[in-house]
Amino acid sequence: MADSPDKKLKLLLVEDDEFLQKILLAKFIKEGFDVTAASDGEKAIEMLHSNAPQLVLLDLILPKMTGFDVLTDIRMRAETKSLPVIILSNLGQEEDIRRGKDLGALDFLVKADISVNDVVRKVKELYAKHNS
């Protein structure tokens, strides 16, 4: 998953649903990730700069700032412009998926269509592919 066995992938999880955030945090930690979480868009932007994650798992419907706004901010800054971002959202309309990918998301996962285990597997796959 990471460059060496003692180096964990730093993941920023941006999810405002407390229950889902706890489940995902526990699963990613169990899978060996160094994971931090933000519950709103503004906190996510702060954590991007204080934690320097290697990958962001981003919800779109968030308090204070939408996930689209967070993703736009990520792409506008030189230090985060190429940061891999995977969207995990309840939004599943074609226009939302297209907008997310147009803003540079690696993938768009719809919460209703994917299990927690599949989210972790997909994050590992996409991160490996992005860094190969």
> pLDDT (tens digit, 9 = 90+) per residue, 36-84?
999 999 999 999 989 999 999 999 999 999 999 999 999 999 999 999 9
User: Which residue from 49, 105, 36, 50 is spatially nearest to 80, judged by alpha carbons?
Assistant: 49
Reported as a single tens digit per residue, the pLDDT across 75-94 is 999 999 999 999 999 999 99
Angle at 28 between CA 22 and CA 33, to 5 degrees: 130
Listing from the earlier edge strand, what are the strands of the sheet with 34-38? 34-38, 10-14, 55-58, 85-89, 107-110
Q: Note whether 16 and 40 are within 8 A (CB).
A: yes
pTM: 0.93
Set out the domains of the chain in order of their start, with CATH numbers: 10-130 (3.40.50.2300)
Is the pLDDT at 4 greater than 50? The verdict is no
> Contact at 8 Å (CB) between 67 and 61?
yes
The pLDDT of residue 63 is 97
> Rg (Cα) of the chain, in Å, rounded?
13
